[in-house]
Amino acid sequence: EAQVTQNPRYLITVTGKKLTVTCSQNMNHEYMSWYRQDPGLGLRQIYYSMNVEVTDKGDVPEGYKVSRKEKRNFPLILESPSPNQTSLYFCASSLGRANTEAFFGQGTRLTVV
Amino acid sequence: DQQVKQNSPSLSVQEGRISILNCDYTNSMFDYFLWYKKYPAEGPTFLISISSIKDKNEDGRFTVFLNKSAKHLSLHIVPSQPGDSAVYFCAAANQAGTALIFGKGTTLSVSS
């Protein structure tokens, strides 16, 4: 089954404790991206990757890092989480660029206290 | 400044009727538009898209209309079904194809 898998689905952490949210896709897609969804703000792009070892900032990259060492994986790293990073996070992948159909993961609900 | 706007946070429709969800954009350089549907506790799923060289695209009960001069697109669902109740996001792709810019979403409720 074609899918994008994120882990964990839910996470509560404390300010400053480094964490990683994993994202993996099994469709051999080149393009992957991270979004955060906040009430009243819709989905905003954090980082994207056009291919292995090619990553770039989206609209709201502050406080986040990513890496793309393999085509299937695109982890999101929060080196020192803060409460304003409490949000619902989605990973997405698509075969071509962002203007092609994107497949989204089920989301990670992160709470930073 | 918001580049993709969905000005109606919610819409209620009776089963069998038409649902019309609207979306406006400000950047004339956007050349591809997509609609995604999202159920609670799930990720968004792709619904339908339209290129800027077209003014209409149809897929079953779903039709998207694009009015470039007005920078406006709309999603029509006919007939609406209770299973269509979800949040609908309009998104625009930048010309480089590197980003999707989403609207804030419209919650559609279809009552039987």
Q: pLDDT at position B24, please?
A: 97
- Residue A49 is predicted with a pLDDT of 95
The Cα-based distances of A2 to A95, A104, B88 in angstroms read 12, 11, 22
| Euclidean distance between CA atoms A4 and A87, whole angstroms | 19
Residue A109's pLDDT band, with cuts at 50, 70 and 90, is: very high
Residue corresponding to tokens 């990670």: A108
What's the pLDDT score for residue B38? 95
Note whether B34 contacts A: Cβ–Cβ < 8 A: yes
pLDDT, mean over chain A: 95
Structure confidence at residue B104 (pLDDT): 94
| pLDDT tens digits for range B2-53 | 899 999 999 999 999 999 999 999 999 898 999 999 999 899 999 999 999 9
| Cα–Cα distance measured from residue B50 to residue B28, given in angstroms and rounded to the nearest whole number | 15
Measured between beta carbons, the chain B residues lying within 8 angstroms of A106 are: 41-43
Does residue A99 surpass a pLDDT of 80? no
Chain B residues 71-100 within an 8 A CB cutoff of chain A = 89, 91, 93-94, 96-100
Chain A positions touching B41 (Cβ under 8 A) are: 106-107
Read off the pLDDT of each residue in B85-93 and give the average, rounded to a whole number: 95
Mean pLDDT score, B66-93: 97
Say yes or no to pLDDT of B97 above 90.
no
- Residue B1 pLDDT greater than 80, yes or no: no
Distance from chain centroid for Cα B17: 17
Give percent of chain B with pLDDT exceeding 90: 87
Are the Cβ atoms of B98 and A97 closer than 8 angstroms? yes
When pLDDT is averaged across residues B84-108 and rounded to a whole number, the result is 92
The Cα–Cα gap between A49 and B82 comes to: 37
> What letters, b where the CB count within 10 A reaches 16 and e where it falls short, cover A81-107?
beeebbbbbbbbbbeebbbbebbbbeb
C-alpha Rg value of chain B to the nearest Å: 13
